[in-house]
């Protein structure tokens, strides 16, 4: 058996095309352009790439993006001041503070300061609480994207055993909450595993759907997978790997891999996401969806 590929990149393009149509209609009906403010602090190269991708995605979908670039020396107080200004600006419908923040800045303090009505990352405690109760204002972008992938590929979750490896506030915990909820893309029986879980291999092997979000390169191996299971790889890890070039010479190169050993797992799983091109593009697509939702909510008031 060789797993079928869950093409997150292609699906994200489809969703972004739908959002573009929605944005155009919203602008025509309300004379308001949905606007996302992105705050980038410091010089983290990966963060710069992510922000550029979000800016490009906004522009392609017809949303306005405002990028605020601040030096690494920015204090928590200065960043809080900017967040409060963005909160008070009625022309801004979504605020995203790119993580990680430089050392010395209180991350939780900043994220908690974002107006919950503009919290398009769904990190604010108020929004997390609403998600847990099944009445979300916004949905967390990566879990939202994964749920959409399962729905649109026709992968059943009702009554299925889902194992999430990783308990982060960004992916693991909210992923479990979404799949537990009643309705489409939910009604699953969910187990969340982590670094202290006993018998992890045995638990993982019971999963009809396994979501790997532990942040360890190629941690999930073929012996952890139930034959035919759906495997979703959230990981993005840069490692050194030996390759043989066109001249037959061995070289040590940087390679981007997930939390799943792709080559081994593909021989056991029924469905599998690649890295890159799996979950990442969907995260950006759902961010656009949340920004549009913020604009619609604000216009309705």
The residues that are catalytic are: 54, 98, 121
Surface-to-core class of residue 99, CB atoms within 10 Å of its CB (0-12 exposed, 13-18 middle, 19+ buried):
middle
Pairwise CA distance, residues 38 & 83, whole Å:
10
Pairwise CA distance, residues 171 & 49, whole Å:
20
Pairwise CA distance, residues 287 & 140, whole Å:
8
* Cβ pair 218, 263 in contact under 8 A: no
List, in order, residues 6 or more apart from 114 with CB less than 8 Å away: 83, 87, 95, 97, 123, 124
List, in order, residues 6 or more apart from 128 with CB less than 8 Å away: 122, 169, 174
Identify any residues that bridge with 240 across adjacent strands, giving them in sequence order.
254
Chain position carrying tokens 């190169």: 253
- State the DSSP code for 85: H
């Amino acid at each position: 058996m060789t797993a079928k590929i869950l093409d997150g990149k292609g699906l994200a393009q489809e969703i972004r095309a739908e959002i573009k149509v929605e944005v155009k209609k919203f602008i025509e009906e309300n004379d308001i352009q949905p606007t996302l403010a992105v705050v980038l602090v410091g010089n983290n190269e990966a963060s710069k790439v992510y922000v550029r991708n979000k800016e490009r995605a906004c522009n392609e979908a017809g949303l306005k993006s405002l990028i605020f670039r601040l030096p690494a020396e920015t204090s928590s107080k200065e960043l809080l001041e900017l967040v409060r200004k963005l909160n008070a600006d009625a022309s801004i419908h979504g605020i995203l503070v790119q993580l990680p923040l430089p050392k010395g800045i209180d991350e939780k303090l900043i994220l908690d300061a974002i107006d919950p009505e503009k919290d398009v990352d769904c990190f604010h405690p108020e929004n997390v609480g609403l998600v847990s109760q099944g009445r979300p204002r916004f949905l967390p972008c990566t879990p939202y994207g994964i749920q959409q992938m399962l729905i649109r590929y026709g992968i059943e979750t009702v009554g299925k055993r889902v194992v999430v490896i990783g308990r982060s506030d960004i992916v693991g915990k909210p992923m479990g909450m979404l799949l537990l909820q009643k309705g489409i893309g939910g009604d699953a029986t969910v187990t969340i595993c982590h670094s202290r879980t006993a018998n992890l291999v045995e638990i993982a092997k019971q999963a009809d759907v396994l979501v790997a979000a532990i942040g360890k390169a190629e941690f999930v191996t073929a012996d952890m997978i139930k034959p035919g299971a759906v495997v979703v790889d959230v990981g993005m890890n840069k490692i050194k790997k030996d390759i043989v070039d066109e001249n037959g010479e061995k070289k040590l190169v940087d390679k981007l891999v997930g939390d799943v050993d792709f080559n081994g797992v593909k021989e056991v799983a029924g469905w599998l996401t690649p890295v890159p091109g799996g979950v990442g593009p969907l995260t950006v697509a759902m961010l656009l969806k949340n920004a549009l939702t913020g604009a619609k909510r604000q216009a309705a008031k």
